[in-house]
Every structure is written in C-alpha cells, then in structure tokens.
Amino acid sequence: MVEHTQDTIAAIATASGAGGIGIVRVSGALSQSIAKAVLGHCPPPRHAAYLAFQDAEGQLIDRGIAIYYPNPHSYTGEDVLELQAHGGTALMQILLARCIVLGARQAMPG
C-alpha cells in the first residue's frame, strides 16, 4: 500500500442518493487555498459560514455551509475544509471535481 501523507485529499463524505444535504471534505495543506478559490475567501476557523460555491469563472455552483478547521485542531490533524451543499450526486461530483482541479487528489476508501 502506498502512503500519500503529504497529499491534500478530497472526497464526498455523504452517502449517494436522495439526501437533502451532501458534504465534500478536503484535508491537507491545500485546504485553505481551495477554500479561497471555491468561496472567494477562507471562512473564519471553526465557524459555519453560509457562502456561494463558485466555479473557475466565478459562476455560482451552489450556496451552502463552509467550515474551515485549521491544523492541528481537526479530526485529521491537518487543515480541513468541509463544504455542505444541496444533496444529489451531480452537485457533489461537481464540487469534488472543482477541488481536484485545484490540487486535491481523490481520497481512497478507508
């Protein structure tokens, strides 16, 4: 098994299906820069902020809750960004793809 301890990872953290809320989590050193690119700025640490999620051209993807947990005060010990958006597979895939384009890699299961 290959360890990627220096990588920033991203994954959909909610089950696929018809849920009303979906969550994409990002963990690693690029979390803050991904927040700035998707949200326009990084939200204050450990505070839920209702913000617009934007694509590369600044167009609205969705509005939702963003929470930034700076290291070491997160469940991974790394910087963590949590994006809580409207649920649904398509929207979660769009947000995940945006994070990957910005430098995160798809997290492996487990």
Q: What is the pTM of this model?
A: 0.91
- Report yes or no: 79 and 29 within 8 Å, Cβ to Cβ: yes
Tens-digit pLDDT string for the chain (110 aa): 445 468 999 999 998 776 899 999 999 999 999 999 999 999 999 999 999 999 999 999 999 999 999 999 888 899 999 999 998 899 999 999 999 999 999 998 87
pLDDT of residue 1: 42
pLDDT of residue 6: 84
Cα 50 to Cα 42, 43, 54, 84, 106: the distances in Å are 12, 9, 13, 9, 25
Strand order from edge to edge, sheet including 80-86: 49-54, 60-69, 80-86, 21-27, 9-12, 105-106
Residues whose CB falls within 8 Å of the CB of residue 4, separated by 6 or more in sequence, listed in order: 105
pLDDT of residue 3: 54
For 103, phi and psi rounded to 5 degrees?
120, -10
